Amino acid sequence: MTPIFKLQSVTVQFGRLQALSACTFQVGAGERLALVGANGSGKSTLLRTLQGFVQPVAGHIQRDASARTAMLFQRPYLLRASVQNNVALGLWLNGTPWQPAKAQALQALERVGLADLAGRNARALSGGQQQRVALARAWALKPQVLLLDEPTSSLDPTAKREVERLMAEFSEAGMTLIFSSHNLGQVKRLASRVMYLEHGHLLADLPTDAFFNGPLPLAAETFLKGELA
Amino acid sequence: MNTFSDSAVTAFSLITSLDPLLASIVLRSLAVSAVACAIACSAGLLLGAWLGVARFKGRGVVLALLNTALALPSVVVGLVVYLLLSRSGPLGFLSWLFSFKAMVLAQSVLVLPVVMALVRQTIEDADRSHGEQFESLGARRFMRSLILLWDERYALLTVLIAAFGRAISEVGAVMVVGGNIEGFTRVMTTAIALETSKGDLPLALALGILLLGVVLLLNLLIALVRRWREQLDDPLQQADSALQPGRAAPGGVS
């Protein structure tokens, strides 16, 4: 089966800072890949590179052209408009006429349990509700791959659980998830595979069980102990 | 009583009696500046938004020139527009010199860089913070700038009001290209300059008071827009208003 992403020695540089160093891996359809590592380890850069926002200075990325990707950010930005219009915008930008886009947006909002807030000003929602609107906006585009950059890091436990539940449901429906997280509990619950990054280097790439139970490179082991302490 | 208090009393009586000469000058001033702002803002919003997201060789030079244009003395703008519109100038065939249209053109040129520069900065900041989110939804560069332009509409309303303030309070450009002709091109600022030099202080003072009144009104509008915007965006205030008796809250703010 063709991998969705195949990276070969991908290096990303911002000025003199090497944000990713010769990363090589591939991601298959339906995987739930978690990226872990300290701040500045390159998790967000890797996600932005996969989305195409950042171009590598060396190496090669092969993408499955048929796989549509969508990205979710730590702090979603919603327009000063109704919740429904915020979701409809993504569809409209992808070629759906405005009225059908609004109807589909409502369906997407039902999917994340926010249909009753469709007419509300999106900026007046809580952080958790805004993240669910962003999930609906991404889900409405019917992506095969969802990239999530610390999607729950600024949310309270209830909102966190709600977003995790939606991520799990999307995954069960066949969507490939690639997400970064500092929450190892969340990684255990959601991921099928974990990558550990440090200073832009990919130091571990293991199935979730092996990552939490098996031997790890010293740096990853130290990180894990620190996070679980 | 001294000259100032005498003039002030006469000025207030001119205002309260809606003196026809005073009213015609004020209305002409408002009309010139409103049309000039409408023209400058139509172009400035789009050009500024595009410049906010566009990346091209020489962009730094364009931005430096634009920022320099912010400090353009109005009399220099008047001079350039005068040369363009004069009989031997490239736009001389229009025969606009010393007319309402010439003053509109001069004020448009004066205000355009202000609108462009402020819009450019607003859109560039917004794009830096959230541009990738719209890009991930499929918005290309110019579409992104239009979306951000719409989303920043309250901030940009302040820019438009500030631009109007700049236009209505300038004197040099309209004096040079309008000629301060009574009944045709005399506006508040040029009339103040003329009446002061003639010693007709009450009329000059009445116009000055009205000009200050317009600027004060603009400032109040800016403050109101800002407050309205904050109320729209503040979830806590929304929650408070939703919890008021008699108002249904369709969903909780957790």
Q: What is the mean pLDDT of chain B?
A: 87
| pLDDT tens string B146-170 | 999 999 888 888 888 889 989 999 9
What is the model's pLDDT at position B215?
A: 84
Q: Which residue of B has its CA nearest to A70?
A: B136
pLDDT of residue A228: 64
Residues of A whose CB is below 8 A from B135: 53
Chain A interface disruption, residue of B123, B137, B147, B153, most A CBs within 10 A: B137
Q: State residue B247's pLDDT score.
A: 40
Instruction: Output helix, strand, coil percentages for chain B, rounded to the nearest 5.
Output: 80, 0, 20
Which residues in chain A are closer than 8 Å to B128, comparing Cβ atoms? none
- Is the per-residue pLDDT at A12 higher than 90? yes
Instruction: Name the residue with tokens 């999106």.
Output: A122
Model confidence pLDDT, tens digit, residues A134-188: 999 999 999 999 999 999 988 888 889 999 999 999 999 999 999 999 999 999 9
**Three-class secondary structure of residue A116 per DSSP:** helix
Do the Cβ atoms of A93 and B138 come within 8 Å? yes
pLDDT at B54 over 50: yes
User: What is the least distance, in Å, from the CA of B132 to any CA of chain A?
Assistant: 7
Note the ipTM here. 0.86
- Work out the average pLDDT over B237-250: 44
> What is the rounded distance in angstroms from the CA atom of residue A150 to the CA atom of residue A182?
7
Token code pair at residue B198 = 């003639």
Task: Count CB neighbours of A94 within 10 A.
Answer: 15
pLDDT of residue B2: 64
pLDDT above 70 for B248: no
Chain B partners within 8 Å of A110 (Cβ) = none
The confidence score (pLDDT) of residue B237 equals 47
Tell me whether B183 touches chain A (CB under 8 Å).
no
Give tens-digit pLDDT for B56-93: 999 999 999 999 999 889 999 999 999 999 999 999 99
The overall average pLDDT reported for chain A is 93
Shortest Cα–Cα distance, B130 to chain A (Å): 6
**Residue A180: beta bridge partners?**
A35, A149
Please tell me the predicted confidence (pLDDT) of residue B242.
47
> Structural domain boundaries of chain B?
3-231
By C-alpha distance, the chain B residue nearest A138 is: B137
CB A147 within 8 A of CB A138: no
- Asked if residue B249 has pLDDT above 50, the reply is no
pLDDT of residue A223: 86
Core vs surface per residue B44-62: b (16+ CB within 10 A) or e: bbbbbbbbbbeeeeeeeee
Give the Cα separation of A42 and A52 in Å (integer).
15
Average pLDDT over residues B18-31: 92
Window 67-126 of A: residues touching B by CB (8 A cutoff) are 70-71, 73, 76-77, 79-81, 89-90, 93-94, 114, 116-117, 119-121, 123-126
* A52-85: pLDDT as tens digits: 999 999 999 999 988 999 999 988 999 999 999 9
Q: A151, A196, A154, A194: which is closest to A170 by C-alpha?
A: A151
pLDDT band for position A43 (cuts 50, 70, 90): very high
Fold annotation for B3-231: MetI-like fold (1.10.3720)
Contacts of B151 in chain A (CB under 8 A): 79-81
Does B202 score more than 90 pLDDT? Answer: no
The B residues from 8 to 37 touching A (CB cutoff 8 Å) are none
Q: How confident is the model at residue B137 (pLDDT cuts 50, 70, 90)?
A: very high
Chain A residue whose CA is closest to B154: A80
- The yes-or-no verdict on residue B23 having pLDDT over 50 is yes
The answer to whether B102 and B96 are in contact (CB under 8 A) is: yes
Tokens of A116: 């009753």
